[in-house]
Chains A and B, each alone.
Chain A
Amino acid sequence: MKTKSAWTRKDLLDLESLTREELELVLATADSFKEVIGRTVKKVPTLRGKTIVNLFYEPSTRTRISFEVAAKRLSADVINIATEASSVRKGETLIDTGRNIEALKVDIVVVRHNCSGAAAILARHLRASVINAGDGWHEHPTQALLDMFTLKEKLGRLEGIRVSIVGDIAHSRVARSNIWGLTKMGAAVTVCAPPLLVPPAIERTGVRVTHSIDEALAGADAINVLRMQFERDTGDAFPQQLEYFKTYGITRERLEKAKKDILVMHPGPINRGIEMASDVADGPNSVILEQVTNGIAVRMAVLFLVAQANEYIHNKSEPKK
């Protein structure tokens, strides 16, 4: 019971570098925050006086709002910067933008960027904590954490469960973070995609690869369906939308052959009729909206843990009774 808090990181940049104990700590902390967001007064004073900046170089609605709600439930002040309307358009570099934000005495920067590694670069240059809200094709750690939280809440454990991730694995930071996180927790992960959308040597991360959707569904405890990011298509890798739905789309007929209580997940936004049929998205197996709620609890936990670690690193103050 009197174990020391295992979280000593100033930033959350990826799940690849986290230990299993750290993942467990985030999930346990998020569980306590889920109680907070169920109260009548859904707010605690923990981060009062702290300022959090959401710095988004890519459009995002749900992740940004989720971080904003999480920060407000912790009583922090939130500033949103969408780069289309900022001096980034005038040619300011990422590091300069970061330093300027820090000069405003900001405590945590939540960053989304289209370049892999952007959050890590920012973290190296700032004293403030940096949370990666998605960097290029690299990682989206809080999305994977909320997926894992939802799985654990529904299935009672992560060890030994079977999760299939379906969709554009090659371009998906959500897939990558989920693979790192889930395999560390002892889950068996299968990825399923058209051959050109599976990155080479992905098996080395410990996942099974299949190109058949029925194989991905068979025996799985949960299926995490990714959005087809047609806006990222740089060549000929992407199939036609209708063809993708025919070959890989999750339909009720396909689901009937899977486990009866298989969990259907999606990080959103859903392309109905492309990666998933409408009656599946709204069906009894879907936990998609619960994922959104859990996202707040998980992000509160992450904000809390990095703020606490940062304060500790910079003050090294003696604990008081």
Chain B
Amino acid sequence: MKEKAKILDAEALGRTLKRMAHEIIEHNKGTQDLVIVGVRTRGAHLAQRLAGLIAEISGAAPPVGILDITLYRDDLSSIAQQPVVHKTEINFDIEDKKVVLVDDVLYTGRTVRAALDEIIDFGRPQFIQLAVLVDRGHRELPIRADYVGKNIPTSTKETVEVRLAESEGIDEVVVLEKA
């Protein structure tokens, strides 16, 4: 894999998240009943950051949950490639809440499908909205995001990699191409 283009640097990524935080507050008319749930691993980091930004803007910090969707995937064989199954941590009642689901890259939509199923096993929220840092297209399911950081048209030969300070030590979004 070779790096083809840098889409967002640290500064642009920060601005993007701030805009998304504003949009979430605007769209939901405040933070009443709002909860943020991130998909492990990078979606969870982004959820923490969005919750922090929402708190800065509105003064109220929404609860943050972490979802590990491994057990809800539709492809048992390819998760053999995955690291250890981690815990889902939703330590609050999601019944009747406004859930904002957060992930780093929206691609086929299968991860989101799994995440929706898992959230619903925890209770019946008012609604679930989807926030992604990058939408790269190529959906295989009828799923769309409510908040998009950046639309990046890609070919299937390319990969979009979101790198975050929490996990990779740097904030950036790059497009990689199979050499």
Contacts and interface: CB of A to CB of B under 8 A. Distances in A.
Interface of A: 1-5, 7-8, 25, 28-29, 31-33, 35-36, 39-41, 43-47, 74, 304, 307-309, 311-312, 315, 317-321
Contact of A312 (B77, B107, B110, B167): B77
Contact of A41 (B77, B78, B84, B121): B121
Given A5-B83, A32-B86, A308-B77, 12 more contacts: A5-B81, A5-B82, A28-B84, A40-B122, A43-B121, A46-B73, A47-B76, A312-B77, A315-B77, A317-B77, A319-B78, A320-B108
Contacts of A41: 121-122
B68 A311 contact: no
Interface in B83-101: 83-89
B78 A320 contact: yes
A321 B108 contact: yes
Contacts of B81: 4-5, 319
Q: Which of B71, B85, B89, B118 has the most CB of A within 10 A?
A: B85
B79 A308 contact: yes
Chain B: interface size category: 20 to 34
Interface of B: 41, 68, 71-73, 75-89, 107-108, 110-111, 117-118, 121-123, 167
A39 B87 CA distance: 12
- 7 closest cross-chain pairs (CB), A and B: A312-B80, A311-B77, A319-B78, A44-B71, A41-B121, A46-B71, A319-B81
Contacts of B41: 1
B68 A32 contact: yes
A1 B79 contact: no
Contacts of B80: 5, 7-8, 308-309, 311-312
Nearest to A311: B77
Contacts of B111: 321
A33 to B, nearest CB: 8
